[in-house]
Amino acid sequence: MATTTITSGICGFTTRVHAEEVADYRCRITIETDCPNMEALRAGLSEVSALRELSWKGEGPLVYELARRHLPHASCPVPSGVIKAVEVACKLALPADVTIKVEAE
């Protein structure tokens, strides 16, 4: 199992994503958040194929398809956090933090 915690920024919402491999490269996803826009992602991502989520080839990641349809901001980091949890849960990557630092100049 892998968990990512995403603090999205100015919106103030924090999302925790739990991914657990249930079969060869298939993950069960649980999303905990106070963001009202995440319900569609939570409903559509109960179980995913890690191989689909990690590649732009073929259908491309389901999480980004759902995000494009249901999230108001393209800059939301939650979809990327979902994919990071999936790849670690399926042992396709080692766990490591990802950081985006934003500064106005």
The predicted-structure confidence for 52-91, as pLDDT tens digits, reads as follows 999 999 999 999 999 999 999 999 999 999 999 999 999 9
d(CA 59, CA 9): 29
Q: What is the pLDDT of residues 12-28, one digit of tens each?
A: 999 999 999 999 999 99
Domains delineated in the chain: 2-89 (3.90.1010)
Report yes or no: 44 and 52 within 8 Å, Cβ to Cβ: no
In sequence order, the β-bridge partners of residue 27 are 21, 48
Q: Is the pLDDT of residue 94 over 90?
A: yes
pTM above 0.85, yes or no: yes
Q: Residue 45, SS3?
A: coil
